[in-house]
Amino acid sequence: MNKKLLLSAAAVATLIAAPAFAQEATGYVGAFYGNVDVETPFGDADADAWGVEGSVAFDASSSIGLQLDASYVNNDDFDSDALSGGVHVFHRNDQWALGGFAGVVDLDGDTAWQVGGEGAYYLPQVTFAGSVAYGTVDDSDVDVWGGNVEARFFATDNLRFDGRIGAFNADAGVGGDIDGWQFGVGAEWQIDAAPMSLYTTFDSVQFDDVDVDVNTWMVGVRWNFGGTLKERDRNGASFNGGLGSVFRSF
């Protein structure tokens, strides 16, 4: 069984099984549409993409929690498909959360792996989160170290605004070291009368040494289970640390 088939099975299992956990867990399943714009000294290119996603969090014991993630993205313009999966292991209380994660992304047979640590600190209306990660892209001989911080502001329990910023260093083998940074903003609103939410994000990855920018925006819809957006942030599937936006740029 190859890597893509394993990832497909994991993604389907997470997306289908998530609602079955609804009585004991929190999370969401959703669909999204987006655009990727690549700016280089030799010209620009852009492509549209769509995908599906799912995430579920539950208690593995009285002190340890687990979160499982899966997504599939199709990009017709670049003729590519990406499958990703991840697992987060953490301890969380009313004031903070701390844990680690591992994930894999398969882009048309090119596989990227990542591991790292992540955490969050909770204030009444704001969550501060951050992560550090190491990743490697197998077939491209690229190793990446990075870190980021994020702030999530809850205007209401079902309206969230967030911003994030991070930096990374990529060892591209014969291509040498590449430094860069990333930033992003987003918002999500859940309808009070139904467990449906709408969200939008914008993320930019800047490769300083090679003068390349990769800008991505998305809009999507989610079916949520387990309460409000704030409850999901404090008690459910809210971990998103790692190098995902950087990996998708290689």
Residue with more model confidence, 58 or 2: 58
Is 55's pLDDT higher than 60?
A: yes
Q: Report percent pLDDT > 70 for the chain.
A: 85
Mean pLDDT of 106-126: 91
Residue 18 has pLDDT above 90, yes or no: no
pLDDT value, residue 24:
72
First vs last C-alpha separation in the chain: 26
- CATH class of residue range 3-247: mainly beta
pLDDT at 215 over 70: yes
171 has a pLDDT exceeding 90: no
**In whole numbers, what is the pLDDT of the chain averaged over residues?**
86
The 3-state DSSP class for residue 124 equals coil
- What percent of the chain clears pLDDT 90, i.e. is strictly above it? 61
Best CA proximity match to 142, nearest among 109, 167, 174, 115 = 174
Model confidence at 2: pLDDT above 90: no
User: 125-128: which pairs have CB atoms within 8 A and are 24 or more residues apart?
Assistant: 125/153, 125/154, 125/155, 126/151, 126/152, 126/153, 126/154, 127/151, 127/152, 127/154, 127/233, 127/234, 127/238
- Provide the pLDDT for residue 133: 94
Average pLDDT over residues 7-13: 48
Contact 246, 168 (CB under 8 A): yes
Report pLDDT digits (tens) over 66-101.
999 999 999 876 677 889 999 999 999 999 999 999
**Which residue has better confidence, 205 or 25?**
205
Question: pLDDT at position 245, please?
Answer: 58
Mean pLDDT (whole number) for 211-236: 94
pLDDT given at position 173: 65
Instruction: Parse the chain into domains and list their residue ranges.
Output: 3-247
pLDDT digits (tens, 9 = 90+) for 119-149: 999 999 999 999 999 998 877 778 889 999 9
